[in-house]
Amino acid sequence: MNPITILVTLLILSILVVSHEFGHFIAARKVGVFVEEFAIGMGPKLFSRQGKETLFSIRLFPIGGFCKMRGEEPELDEDGNYLPADPDKTIDERSFEAKTKGQKLLILVAGSAMNIIFAWFCLLVLAILVGNTNPLDILRLAFINTANFAGIIFQSFAMLFSGQAGLNDVAGPIGMVSMVDTFLNNGFVSLLAFTALISVNLGVINMMPLPALDGGRVLIILIEMITRKKFSPEIEGRINFVGFVLLMGLAVVIAFNDIMRLSA
């Protein structure tokens, strides 16, 4: 596979993940949550700069990024066991845990919302590049195409759940390299449209009510609001861990299918 194609694929994935995390960052700052670090990339730090509050860093591996908020994760002891909440301990008012359920929902949804906004911006640029000069037509086309992309993704999920499509029809990051190669050869406009589609896809998937995804955390908060009972950090952690393991298993299956398709 062309090294340039691989680099472009990594760049697209990184931009989309960083956009997602930037949505969390903006919403967290808006409601007063202390963001400890905003990172571009993963792994060891290559460069970091301390802002007024947040540490901004660039890390070695260009595979996304993260937004680390104070109090977002439960505390663990040295053996990795969950520490019970101390009723006498004052919760930091700037921690994620201290915020209202509505504020938490805003933070969680903001990541996917930013992916949709980024896709809309890509399609806005696309409408300009293809020759539209009327500003109203440009805005309208960008909104319509963003909605159409979301419809395509929901239709794809419906086909998966109904059995009209299988995991063999699903592509992961490895399979995405092959698709990027095709769109890259077709020109920048084609690649930009594909980037917008993937951005909408990321936004939609992250809102699915599955453990370890933002949508799963949203579901837990909604259940708490309805039942007026709070999940213990240990139970929530275990739910997310099981969800993470299942998602990793699915990722392995999809990666295997991608490799088999590329080697065929």
Model pLDDT, residue 86: 54
Model pLDDT, residue 101: 93
Mean of pLDDT over the chain: 84
Model pLDDT, residue 246: 77
Name the percent of the chain lying above pLDDT 70.
84
81 within some domain: no
251 within some domain: yes
Domain, as residue range, for 228: 3-75+91-263
**Which pLDDT band, with edges at 50, 70 and 90, does 161 fall under?**
confident
How many domains are contained in the chain?
A: 1
Reduce the secondary structure of the chain to three states and give it as a string: CCHHHHHHHHHHHHHHHHHHHHHHHHHHHHCCCCEEEEEEEEEEEEEEEECCCCEEEEEEEEEEEEEEECCCCCCECCCCCECCCCCCCCCCCCCHHHCCHHHHHHHHHHHHHHHHHHHHHHHHHHHHHCCCCCHHHHHHHHHHHHHHHHHHHHHHHHHHHHCCCCHHHCCCHHHHHHHHHHHHHCCHHHHHHHHHHHHHHHHHHHCCCCCCCHHHHHHHHHHHHHHCCCCCHHHHHHHHHHHHHHHHHHHHHHHHHHHHHHHC
196 within some domain: yes
Locate 62 and state its tokens: 């260009």
221 within some domain: yes
Q: Is the pLDDT of residue 31 over 80?
A: yes
Among 244, 242, 220, smallest CA distance to 230 is for 220
Residue 62, number of CB atoms within 10 A of its CB: 19
Name the percent of the chain lying above pLDDT 90.
43
135 within some domain: yes
**Which pLDDT band, with edges at 50, 70 and 90, does 263 fall under?**
low
257 within some domain: yes
Among 28, 81, 27, 32, smallest CA distance to 232 is for 81
Distance CA 79, CA 19 (A): 34
Q: Is the pLDDT of residue 108 over 90?
A: yes
What are 70-102's pLDDT values in tens digits? 887 766 555 555 555 555 566 778 888 889 999
Q: Is the pLDDT of residue 124 over 60?
A: yes
Q: Is the pLDDT of residue 264 over 80?
A: no
**Which pLDDT band, with edges at 50, 70 and 90, does 210 fall under?**
confident
**Which pLDDT band, with edges at 50, 70 and 90, does 160 fall under?**
confident
Q: Is the pLDDT of residue 200 over 80?
A: yes
Among 78, 81, 41, smallest CA distance to 60 is for 41
Model pLDDT, residue 24: 95
CB 59 within 8 A of CB 39: yes
Q: Is the pLDDT of residue 201 over 80?
A: yes
**Average pLDDT score over residue span 179-197:** 90
Model pLDDT, residue 89: 63
**pTM assigned to the model:** 0.85
Model pLDDT, residue 87: 55
Q: Which residues contact 198 (CB under 8 A, 6 or more apart)?
A: 12, 16, 176
39 within some domain: yes
Go through the chain and tell me how many residues it has.
264
Mean pLDDT highest for which of 85-89, 118-122, 230-234? 118-122
80 within some domain: no
Distance CA 99, CA 107 (A): 10
Q: Is the pLDDT of residue 122 over 60?
A: yes
